[in-house]
Amino acid sequence: MDPSARHLALVEVLRHEAREGVVPLVRLIEVALYWPNLGYYTSTNTRVGKLPGTDFTTAAALGPMFGELVASAAETFLGNLSTYTLVEIGAEPNQSHFSTVSGRFAGFKPIRYGESLSFPSRVVLVANELFDAQPFYRLQFQQSRWVEVGVRVDGDELCFETLPQFSSVQIAQWAEKLPPASEGWILDVPLAAENLLEKLLSPKWSGAVMFFDYGKTLAQCLESSPAGTARAYLKHQLSNDILQNLGSQDITCHVLWDQLEPLLKKHGFEKVGLERQEVFFVKFAGKEMERMARGGDWESRGRLRALTHPAHFGSKFQVLFGIR
């Protein structure tokens, strides 16, 4: 579908849902990303990679090297992997980053959007940029209090507008706990990421988790991100205009790591940690990194630098991990 037609079709969905012409921003994000056949993640478009028509590059797009480092870290955590199933949540179609290591596990189970979240009893659970792809609320500090931001649907035009009251009990309770901020300060709150993590951890399987993503703590957002952390990606171009190109651009915000990390401990995980991606691989896959650096060709060493160097994915991404 033509991008402009896709955008207008999703605006029409929002118009039918709007109360007095306004919808919560979190609903717009949900519709834009996941509306059947029209949403960014429900379409058949190729999103990840460097080829023409793609929108962004992830660590997984660098190929099997990422999978080999992940498998090496899993062995550091658990030892022999032959009784564990490797499960990737939010797997993109046509990705091959685990193709060379799946034989070291009891099985490999990619779970894509809309598929059942059912797990074997022993699991290595991996997700790459899963939580930043969840819908998020937007709060703004106005006149000494936090309020929720919505979007007015005026004809085919969309613009931000404050909601008269919170759209859910969960975000209302969350906002009550926030400290004050400067007038106009924006905070993007991915509560759907917390809810998803609860679903992933609640079944009583054993094994390890590794969640690769980019994020900040709540304190960091309240100290250094006055305009919020939401952004859009389209054809490898970063934009702050998240109300345009609905269904054709990725819309994302930073994970709040200090809201996710306690959930691992709540569900019985031990040795829980959060590290920059470079530090994580050095600590838990260092021997594999050394083997790659010594034995790889120029192109392979370039991919390794992209995964681990602080100027590339090494510091941009963090890894939340734990064992149960």
- In the block, residue with structure tokens 């190929």: 63
Residue 105 in tokens: 């596990």
Read off the DSSP letter of residue 103: G
Please tell me the distance from the alpha carbon of residue 279 to that of residue 173, in angstroms, as a whole number.
35
Read off the amino acid at residue 191: L
Tallying the residues shown for the chain, one arrives at 324
Which residue blocks in 238-285 are alpha helix, DSSP H?
A: 257-266, 277-284
pLDDT in tens, the chain (324 residues): 888 999 999 999 999 999 899 999 999 999 999 999 999 988 767 666 666 667 566 666 667 889 999 999 999 999 999 999 999 998 777 777 898 999 999 999 999 888 889 999 999 999 999 999 999 999 999 999 999 999 999 888 899 999 999 999 999 999 999 999 999 999 999 999 999 999 999 999 999 999 999 999 999 999 999 999 999 998 878 899 999 999 999 999 999 999 999 999 999 999 999 999 999 999 999 999 888 888 766 667 777 777 776 666 656 899 999 999
pTM: 0.91
**Beta-bridge partner residues of 139:** 148, 187
Q: Which domains does the chain have, with CATH numbers?
A: 1-39+137-189+218-253 (no CATH), 45-134+191-214+254-324 (3.40.50.12710)
Please tell me the distance from the alpha carbon of residue 87 to that of residue 148, in angstroms, as a whole number.
36
Counting DSSP H helices and E strands in the chain, the numbers are 11, 16
